[in-house]
């Protein structure tokens, strides 16, 4: 994994491949950077703009062969800093990069620099932050900040790695194994329910969705329970390791990125690991609902009636509306444990992408929890928007043979919201929020900022920030 150290050395003395610093139109570049050299390159310090200079162009010399200068533009906005620094580190692609951003007196800005660099760096990269000025107390604070940033970035990269895994390698059984490995040695308990245990415990939704696959479903329960925990939060992650749509088969184009339909479970796993690494004083229980949705002679059919964890009977009218079935089981299990809050995260609906695009998740649920999650997302630098749950949408799930149907076949309007309304039936009166991250979880386009092509790890930073906010003094 990427390493990050804090050094008291002069940045010009760092033995790295590239020394990276920043410049903005108002304050210019650090004093050791020759302004004339940047001017000759036509460098305007626009956000993310990158200039490379040879060591000879640096006043007093430079141990690194290359100096890179990135335009920071809006230095008052942490997310702008994250993206600019992340874009530079990603484009430089060096194995050893020095960071010359002397902002120890501005913790929010320094944290953004570190986060952006870590989120963009290659796993094999070594990052060194140079802080030669100021007292040792400032460097100690910077080292603590670096450790926090690295714990979160490592958790994001864990979620990315799992989500990018080919579906013939990552299926419910192997996901469960990797989840256990990811928290090994940490203060996290792991319990895995196989198909037999799921049947005994009444997880009818997870079993039904997974019954058409040669890879049986799993439920992974992760528990981080620190001493003197202030609150208890349950996380429920959708973990469809591949979604063909089942007998309601998707088109070829609709299946291309469906290895990513487990990104919600990956984010929940990453959040639990980061909470343990950061010793956040909040109990966290995560339910990773893992199944592969495949067509076969054993698959669920439109018209089947299944009984979910909480006893509700659901008529399956669309086997491609499977995520809500596994989440309903997970939410019901979480609710039985009586946590202070339940938050589910899922790549749930194509309607989310239609409504909010590929970079902004929709957040629904009880108003207080929903708004707390949106605020945490904004602080963490992830896009999220509060959405309503209109009561009348429950009517689209009427069934003559069960308590509900699982899909609205007559009207596709408000698909993201109606899916949330369906899940609310299982959350009941719990303090619950639902994050639909179908678009932001996987980047099918070109890289941007610190975000790579492919899995993004969306949701990990939001969930961790939310847990930190709950632990903070009121």
Active site (catalytic) residues: 250, 324
**Nearest CA to 21 among 100, 110, 109, 125?**
100
| Number of residues that make up the chain | 474
CA 190, chain centre distance (Å): 21
State both tokens at 9: 């050395």
The count of C-alpha atoms lying within 13 angstroms of the C-alpha of 286, restricted to the half-sphere facing its C-beta, is 34
Show Cβ contacts of residue 220 under 8 Å, excluding neighbours closer than 6 positions: 175, 176, 179, 180, 190, 191, 192, 193, 265, 269, 286, 287, 288, 290
Give the number of other Cβ atoms within 10 Å of residue 148's Cβ: 18
Bridge partners (DSSP) of residue 130 are: 7
Q: How far is CA 49 from CA 44, 287, 404, in A?
A: 8, 42, 53
The terminus-to-terminus CA distance of the chain in angstroms comes to: 35
CA distance 414 to 362: 12
CA distance 377 to 9: 35
- Give me the helix-helix angle, 323-336 and 415-427, nearest 10°: 30
Indicate the pairing of strand 218-224 with strand 283-293: antiparallel
- Give me the helix-helix angle, 172-182 and 136-164, nearest 10°: 170
**Nearest CA to 192 among 66, 328, 54, 290?**
290
Exposure class string for 1-37: b at 16+ Cβ within 10 A, else e: ebebebbeeebbbbebbbbbbbbbeeeebbebbbeeb
295: exposed, middle or buried (Cβ count in 10 Å: 0-12, 13-18, 19+): middle
């Amino acid at each position: 994994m990427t390493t990050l150290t804090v050094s008291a050395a002069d940045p010009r003395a760092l033995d790295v491949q590239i020394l990276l610093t920043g410049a903005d139109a108002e304050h210019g570049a650090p004093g050791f950077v020759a302004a004339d050299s940047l001017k000759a390159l036509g460098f305007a310090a626009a956000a993310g703009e990158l200039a490379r200079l040879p060591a000879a162009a640096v006043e007093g010399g430079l141990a690194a062969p290359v100096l890179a200068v990135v335009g920071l533009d809006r230095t008052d906005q942490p997310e702008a800093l994250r993206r600019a620094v992340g874009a530079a580190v990603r484009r430089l692609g060096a194995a050893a990069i020095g960071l010359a951003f002397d902002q120890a007196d501005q913790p929010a800005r320094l944290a953004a620099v570190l986060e952006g660099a870590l989120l963009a760096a290659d796993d094999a990269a070594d990052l060194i932050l140079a802080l030669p000025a100021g007292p040792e107390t400032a460097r100690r604070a910077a080292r603590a900040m670096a450790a926090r940033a690295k714990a979160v970035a490592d958790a994001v990269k864990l979620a990315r790695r799992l989500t990018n895994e080919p579906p013939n390698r990552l299926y419910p059984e192997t996901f469960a194994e990797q989840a256990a490995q990811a928290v090994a040695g940490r203060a996290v308990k792991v319990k895995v329910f196989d198909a037999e245990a799921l049947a005994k415990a009444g997880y009818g939704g997870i079993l039904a969705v997974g019954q058409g696959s040669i890879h049986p479903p799993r439920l992974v329960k992760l528990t981080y329970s620190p001493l003197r925990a202030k609150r208890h939060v349950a996380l429920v992650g959708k973990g469809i390791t591949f979604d063909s749509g089942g007998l309601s088969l998707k088109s070829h184009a609709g299946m291309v990125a469906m290895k990513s339909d487990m990104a919600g479970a990956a984010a929940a796993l990453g959040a639990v690991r980061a909470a343990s690494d950061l010793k956040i004083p909040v109990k966290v229980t995560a339910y990773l609902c893992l199944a592969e949705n495949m067509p076969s002679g054993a698959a669920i059919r439109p018209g089947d009636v299944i009984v979910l964890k909480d006893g509700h009977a659901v008529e399956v009218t669309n086997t491609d509306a499977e995520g809500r079935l596994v989440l309903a089981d997970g939410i019901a299990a979480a609710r039985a444990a009586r946590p202070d809050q339940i938050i589910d995260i899922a790549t749930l609906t194509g309607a989310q992408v239609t409504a909010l695009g590929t970079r902004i998740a929709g957040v629904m649920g009880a108003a207080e929890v929903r708004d707390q999650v949106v605020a945490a997302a904004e602080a963490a630098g992830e896009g999220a928007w509060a959405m309503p749950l209109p009561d009348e949408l429950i009517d689209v799930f009427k069934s003559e043979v069960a308590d509900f149907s699982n899909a609205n076949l007559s009207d596709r309007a408000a698909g993201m919201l109606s899916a949330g309304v369906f899940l609310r039936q299982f959350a009941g009166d719990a303090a619950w929020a639902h994050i639909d991250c179908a678009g932001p979880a996987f980047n099918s386009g070109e890289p941007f900022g610190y975000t790579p092509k492919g899995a993004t790890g969306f949701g990990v930073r939001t969930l961790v920030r939310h847990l930190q906010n709950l632990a903070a003094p009121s």
